[in-house]
Chains A and B, each alone.
Chain A
Amino acid sequence: MPVQISKRRECGGTWVVDVDLGRSPTGEELTTFAQRYGGRYRQFQQLVWLDLPSGRITASLRLSRLTIRLGDKALEAAIIAELQQLVEASVPACAVDL
């Protein structure tokens, strides 16, 4: 299932990207993500911040939505592509016993 992407103009005129994964991410997935992109993982209750060199990703362990605020558009595209792979990889395979 493809992730749902929507762009939103935020206070101050900045454009941000909301990504709906279709399921909430796990802490392990977000930690791995932060490490891969040289960022820092911080968690407060169920809120998670990934502080990357070019901006911040805000996520929740109980919601399927992430908000991406990055100054680097190429990195933003790469992260969205990776999120798509993450979701596809976690879709359970269906098998039918006949």
Chain B
Amino acid sequence: MAEETSCMVVTRQDHCIIQVTKAPVRRSLTPSPQMGKLIDQPVPLPKGDTGVDYDAVNEALWGLPLEGDVNGQIRAFNVLLTRMPANYCNRIQYRFLDELQKVDPQLLEVGQALIREAGHVCVFHTFGNIMKSLEWETVVGPMLNTDTDWIHGAYAVASSLGWGRWQALEVVSDEFCRVAIDGNYEANYFLASYPSTAQPACYFAQGAVPAIMNIVYNGRIQQKPVLDEAFYNRLFQRGGVFQGAEVKAREKGDPWCEFYAQRL
């Protein structure tokens, strides 16, 4: 068993200390959901009004040699990529919520909001850097004619990363977007691990979808800003940011997950 006895987030030092000891009693493990509940076949999603060819972007990016360099790091699209089993990430995410609920059910919403923010921060920085990369300019760049194409281009790239098939159904410049995810990795895990729910539960994607709108319409990524912590804080401490909601969810019986993002 492991216990973190000192955390750099709290101590502001440059390291954490984790002590590992042999557990005194045998611990029961939560059964694996295996692959999760995958979709039977891709649902036909309506194509948005764009010049971005999602299939061509997918084909290009799936063919890229995304293996580690001499340091074992996968550096591409201006970011550091990680190959991670989706259900390892899911297990951490949903167990975090389970544990919070055990402590106090009122904490559940706080946990959900934290995961949404994690999704927002992650996607803002990841896709912000992707959109400044040489790979983006070379593969997606020739298809970008309007600012809404940048939104579609981001979802075409997202579809290539193993998170499910992301498709912007409708994008109105600087106002709102509707995005479908077919086979979202969060829903795959949730459906295999929990009973059906009335509430949508793809919290990471709920933060990711408004993040893409915020990159383009608040961050003005076409002007290649420096994406550091100060820029992020400055941008989101003022009003007018995009917020999202999951309006359809496989985990509550819909055929795909669908998200809406609009300005607050």
Contact = CB atoms under 8 A, between A and B. Distances in A.
B138 A45 contact: yes
A63 B137 contact: yes
Nearest to A12: B80
B134 A63 contact: yes
A28 B118 CA distance: 44
A60 B80 contact: no
Contacts, number: 62
B70 interface: yes
Contacts of B73: 12
A93 interface: no
A58 B134 contact: yes
B70 A10 contact: no
Interface in B80-133: 80, 125-126, 129, 133
Contacts of A71: 70-71
Given A45-B139, A55-B70, A11 B80 contact: yes
B64 interface: yes
A59 interface: yes
B134 A44 contact: no
Interface of B: 60, 63-65, 69-71, 73, 75-76, 78-80, 125-126, 129, 133-135, 137-139, 142, 228
14 contacts: A10-B78, A11-B78, A11-B79, A11-B80, A12-B75, A46-B138, A51-B69, A58-B134, A60-B138, A62-B138, A63-B137, A65-B134, A69-B69, A71-B70
